Amino acid sequence: MLDKNNKNRLYIASCLALTVTAMTFAIRAGILGQLSQDFALSDTQLGWINAMAFLGFPVATMLGGLLYNTFGAKKLVIIAFIGHLVGLTLTISADGFWLLLISSFCIGFANGAVEAACNPLIADMYPNQKTTMLNRFHVWFPGGIVIGALISKVMTDMSFGWQSQIAVMLVPTVIYGYLILSQKFPETEAIQTSTVENIKGLFSPIFLFMAFCMTLTATSELGTQQWIERILGASGASPMLIMAMITGVMAVGRYFAGPIVHRLNAYGVLLYSAIVTTLGIYLMSTATGSMVYLSALIFALGVTYFWPTMIGFVAENIPQTGALGMSIMGGAGMFAVSIWNPIIGNWIDEARQQAKAVSTEPELIELAAGQATLQNLSIFPLVLIFAFTGLALYMRKQQAKPMCEKVS
């Protein structure tokens, strides 16, 4: 049994590991333009590079979920630490498309290992506050993106190359690795469910439904943000400042998630998120100049609770899936983003070609391409409005049943 101080240290170490994960996301988004220029890459090719990072994530979370009961959280976080070191080093030394693909996969695998280890660790440490504490833990994904976005903008403005921006992330990586290695972790015997029971739980209709929804929530949030430099670069606003603002709002919102989740329940939070996210992306697809910031603020208020509430819903309502269920949820989301990234890049390329038919001004062409892509992205949260309305009706019906009639 962990004492309070050890539990707090583990929680802080987990948050630092997630911060590094988020910085890789933000800085990669910030350097897409430089990579395109230095290696003469199309947006479709950039999409494949992004896809490898998002593909590595679900591979790690699925393997980590299956091995969590045997390995425990500490070994998985050590794997993440090694993956970050290897991936960042390979990225710095990349000389073209293929090495960027490989290094992005390594970083994505490390990011997934952090998620596979830390989500169930936190859920096990705080059994009566799972959704609240997972929301607070996931403060550090947007928090890390704020840090990464600001670092990328400042270094870009100061004419630092993309290699230097990647190298900056080695510093917090080494720090979190040291902190993780110095902590005592709970014994794996404390885990309450078996892997066989976890696998059986994955085939429940409600879990399969939530996994499908996770593919849409993740693409709504991460698919939009990962391409922010390319889709908003000609909008008259600073893409990296917008990313910092979006993720700053997300960090604050997640930290104070407890009262909101308690008042609306997880399914109510998810329905709210889908409605506001749809509105935010649509407004961004029509806005220019200062109005882009307002539209992005609405988008931020929508996506804030998506990821941690989806995982928290599974932890609280489908507990038999255990660590594997939470890992599969995260993996499903990231796998979907990996699939959609090349498609999003192709949307940009195609919209740019269409815009060239009606305009010869580069800024107007890029603006039209970005807005058209955002219109396509708004379809994802729009579908979720209907999905989460159905979920809310189902959960209310389940809660109204006598305990003996509820399906476990």
Digit-coded pLDDT (tens) for 125-178: 887 777 678 778 878 888 888 888 888 889 888 988 889 999 999 998 998 888
| Cα 18 to Cα 250: distance, rounded to the nearest angstrom | 14
- Interhelix angle for 73-92 vs 43-71, to 10°? 160
Comparing 142 with 384, the larger pLDDT belongs to 384
Residue 257: partners with Cβ closer than 8 Å, 6 or more residues away:
131, 132, 135, 136, 305, 308, 309
Confidence band of 70 (pLDDT split at 50, 70, 90): confident
pLDDT at position 193, please?
A: 57
pLDDT 10s digits, 280-298: 999 999 999 999 999 999 9
pLDDT at position 109, please?
A: 94
pLDDT at position 207, please?
A: 95
Domain spans of the chain?
4-181+194-405
Confidence band of 72 (pLDDT split at 50, 70, 90): confident
| Cα 109 to Cα 103: distance, rounded to the nearest angstrom | 10
Is the predicted pLDDT of residue 190 greater than 70, yes or no?
Answer: no
The dihedral formed by the CA atoms of 164, 344, 43 and 237, expressed in degrees to the nearest 10: -60
Comparing 19 with 131, the larger pLDDT belongs to 19
Range with the poorest average pLDDT among 89-103, 107-121, 172-186, 350-364: 172-186
Neighbours of 187 (CB within 10 A): 10
Give the Å distances, CA to CA, from 43 to 35, 231, 287, 352, 360: 10, 11, 22, 10, 19
CB 138 within 8 A of CB 94: no
Range with the poorest average pLDDT among 69-73, 106-110, 185-189: 185-189
pLDDT at position 213, please?
A: 97
Average per-residue pLDDT for the chain: 87
Confidence band of 230 (pLDDT split at 50, 70, 90): confident
Residue 218: partners with Cβ closer than 8 Å, 6 or more residues away:
306, 307, 332, 333, 334, 336, 337
Is the predicted pLDDT of residue 123 greater than 60, yes or no?
Answer: yes
Confidence band of 254 (pLDDT split at 50, 70, 90): confident
- Interhelix angle for 32-39 vs 43-71, to 10°? 120
* DSSP state string for 266-335: HHHHHHHHHHHHHHHHHHHTT--TTHHHHHHHHHHHHHTTHHHHHHHHHHHH-GGGHHHHHHHHHHHHHH
Comparing 126 with 1, the larger pLDDT belongs to 126
**Mean pLDDT in residue range 197-211:** 91
| Cα 57 to Cα 112: distance, rounded to the nearest angstrom | 4
CB 312 within 8 A of CB 266: yes
**Mean pLDDT in residue range 257-274:** 83
DSSP letter at 406 equals: S
**Mean pLDDT in residue range 57-84:** 87
Which residue in this structure is represented by tokens 């603020």?
Answer: 297
CATH architecture of the domain with residue range 4-181+194-405: Up-down Bundle (1.20)
Range with the poorest average pLDDT among 3-17, 36-50, 177-191, 318-332: 177-191
pLDDT at position 145, please?
A: 84
Neighbours of 255 (CB within 10 A): 15
**Mean pLDDT in residue range 25-33:** 82
Which residue in this structure is represented by tokens 């989806």?
Answer: 310
